[in-house]
Structure formats: C-alpha cells, structure tokens
Amino acid sequence: MVLSMNKCVKCNIEVRDEAAVCPLCKRVLSRDNALEGPSRSVMYPHYKHTVKKLKFATRITVFSAIVAELIVVLVSLKIGLDLKYAILAAAGLAFGCFSLIYSTSLNKSLQRKIVVELILAQVLLLVIDSMFDFKEWSLHYGLPGVVVGVDIAMLVLIIVNYTVWVEYLYSIIWILFDSIICMVLCFIFGDKFPLYAIIAVAVTAVFLGGLIVVGDKQAHSELHRRFHF
C-alpha cells in the first residue's frame, strides 16, 4: 500500500495533515509517496493537538471580538456617540480576527501571509482616513510606513531563515509593486509631494536589488522559475 504525505526536506520530518508548509521552519512541504512501513523521517510530534489548540484559541478570540463590538455599539447608542466610531472599532476587530485566522492557517506560506496582511492593513488605513474626512495621512505616512515595516520584517525573516532566503524573493517583488502603487496614489490623490512614498519605493527597490546581487545564481534561478526570464 502506498501512503502519500507531506515532507520537509530541511527538517527531515513528515506531516500527515493537509498542511502546505512545515510547522517548524515554514518551508513549503513536498509531496512524498512512500511504501507502508518504517520511515527514515521523523513525524512532527503532537501536530494535530497543536492545530486543535490554535483553532480553539481562534474561536475564543473571534467570539470575544464580537462581544466587544456589541458592547461598543450599545455604549455608543447609550451616550449618543457617532456610530462611525463603532464602525471603526468593528473594522479594527475584523482585521485583527482575520489576521489571527490567516496567520495561523497551516496551508498558507509565511511569505503569502505577510503580503496579504500588508495589503489589508493599507486598505484599513485608507478606510479609517476616509471616515474622518480624508486628511491624507494614510497616503503620505500610513501606507509608506507599512511598506517599510514589512521590509524590515522580511529582512529579519531572511536573516533567521538564511538557508531558504531565496523563497522570500517573490514576496519582496510584490512588496515593491505595492509600494509603487502607493506612490502613484499619492501623486493622484495627494496634494503635496509624496516624499515618504518615494522613500518606501527606494528602500524596497534597494532591498530587492541587494538580494539579487548578493544571491547571484540562486536569485537568477528563482526569477527564471517564477517569471521565465
């Protein structure tokens, strides 16, 4: 009988669940068809138990967020506060719950989680700014600040996981693309020179260029694999 399972070649462990990334190093798992019998890889210990605890903690957090939002709405109605503050609280709680659910999802890579949450955080900042007469702080400070923050996070992840640094290259390209969109939005909708947006683009571009130069053949191979050039 043939058993199909996911395997991390770096940690030399096998994961029988439907996870797409290694629970230890977050490297993308590879499919491994092996004959039934003793395996030379180590099964990840207490994997299902850990997943159950994460799901339980997530459900408790989502329920608490719903209760908190109901309290905010009731208090707003009681004291006559503008409901836009309750809507703002709901948006923040919804973003926090989604981030928790998405970040603890085991079938998504860490790089994808970072890019998705980057975009959602920027959308949330734009929504908050729009709710308060759109003072443009989200365009000129919020969006570029999030981009630079994610750049720093990616640099830390690359240093920590330096053996698989090339897997972060694709995400950094997406971050550069995102920063360019932010800069264009500043030029279109802003009323002043988008200095911080340009700095965010420059920082991300230098970061990406440095990885390509230092990575040499590994970086070129990854770019060819992803974009065929």
Question: Measured at the alpha carbon of residue 128, what is the angle toward residues 92 and 76, in degrees to the nearest 5?
Answer: 65
Give CA–CA dist 226/163, Å, rounded: 19
Q: Which residues contact 39 (CB under 8 A, 6 or more apart)?
A: 14
Q: Which two tokens stand for residue 123?
A: 């959308």
- Amino acid 107: pLDDT: 65
Q: Are 95 and 125 in contact (CB under 8 A)?
A: no
Which element (helix H / strand E) includes 91? helix 83-103
Which element (helix H / strand E) includes 150? helix 143-160
Kindly give the parts of the chain with pLDDT less than 70: 1-5, 16-21, 23-51, 106-108, 226, 228-229
Which element (helix H / strand E) includes 174? helix 169-189
Q: How many CA atoms lie within 13 A of 192 on its CB side?
A: 8
Side chain identity at 170, as an amino acid letter? Y
Q: Are 69 and 93 in contact (CB under 8 A)?
A: yes
Burial of residue 20 (CB within 10 Å: 0-12, 13-18, 19+) is middle
Closest CA to 185 of 144, 219, 133: 144
Q: SS3 for 31? A: strand
Query: How would you list the strands of the sheet with 42-43, edge to edge?
Result: 30-35, 2-8, 13-15, 42-43
Give per-residue pLDDT as tens, 115-142: 888 888 898 888 888 887 777 888 889 9
Give CA–CA dist 122/105, Å, rounded: 21
Q: How far apart, in Å, are the Cα atoms of 174 and each of 78, 115, 118, 192?
A: 45, 7, 10, 26
Give per-residue pLDDT as tens, 163-173: 778 878 888 99
Which element (helix H / strand E) includes 6? strand 2-8
